[in-house]
Amino acid sequence: MTTLSIDGFIGLSIALLAISIFGILTRRNFILLLISVEIGMNAAILNFLFFAAFPNRSPFFDGLQGQSIAIVLVGLAATEVAVGLAIVLALNRLKGTINVAEASSLRE
């Protein structure tokens, strides 16, 4: 039987979330921003799987729900990448850059 420690799992997903937030706040290239978002979504997926794998004593606990949510989230995150890339391509056609800081005329 597989035994694993809980602390390591939760530490991993929190570290990935922190990296994702850092990336979204600092990176100015749109592709890197998309990658940061994906890292964050993967952290959430990992969390759902992890909480499904270590059963909770709550009477409402449903491990299959956690796994189902993880599957749906994979699809959702991939959809977001597709939409993001569509916006990138359209922006690149208009302005010739995918840098968020360079493409910025919405100021006072």
Partner 1 sequence: MSLIATVLDFLPEILLLAGALLVFLIDAVGIRRIEVVGSIAVGAILFAMLFVFADLGFAPVAFLATIPPSQIDIVPAVGSTPLYWFTSLGLFFQVFFLIAAFLVSLASMSRPSRERGAAVFYGMILLATLGMMLVAVASDLIFLLIAIEVVSIPSYLLVAYTRRDARSMEAAMKFFIVGALSTVLSFFGASFLYGAYGTTNLFVLASGSAVSNGAFGGGGFPLLVVIGYCLLIAGLAFKITLVPFHAWAVDVYDGAPDDVSAFLAGGTKKIGLFAFFLVFLGPVLLVRGTVEFQWFGGIGAVALGPVLQVVLSILAVVTMTVGNVLALMQKSMKRMLAYSSISQAGYMFIGIAIGTAPALTGASLQVFAHVFMKTGAFLVVAAAAGLGVGPLIADWRGMGQRHPWLSVAFALMLLSLAGVPLTIGFLSKFVLFSAAIEAQGYFVWLAVAGLLNSALSVFYYGRVLKVMYFDAPERGSVIPSSTEADVPLPGAPNGRAAVSPIGLGAGGIGYARATTIALIAIVIVALGVYPGPLLQPLAAAAQHFVNLAF
Partner 2 sequence: MSLEELAFLVLALVAVATALLALFVRELVHTILWIGVFFVDLSAIYFLIDAPFLGVLQLGVYAGAVTILLLFGIMVTRKRIFSREAITGIGALPAALAVATFVFLALVVGEFPGGEQAITSYNVTDLSQALFSQFGVYLLLLGLVMLGALAGAIYLVREGRE
| Residues near partner 2, by CB under 8 A | 1-12, 14-23, 25-29, 31-32, 34-36, 38-39, 42, 45-46, 49-50, 52-55, 63-65, 67-72, 74-79, 81-83, 85-90, 92, 98
Q: Is 56 in the site for partner 1 (CB under 8 A)?
A: yes
Asked if 23 and 32 touch (Cβ cutoff 8 Å), the reply is yes
Q: Quote the DSSP letter at residue 29.
A: B
37 binds, among partner 1, partner 2, none (CB under 5 to 8 A by kind): partner 1
| CA pair distance 36, 44, nearest whole angstrom | 13
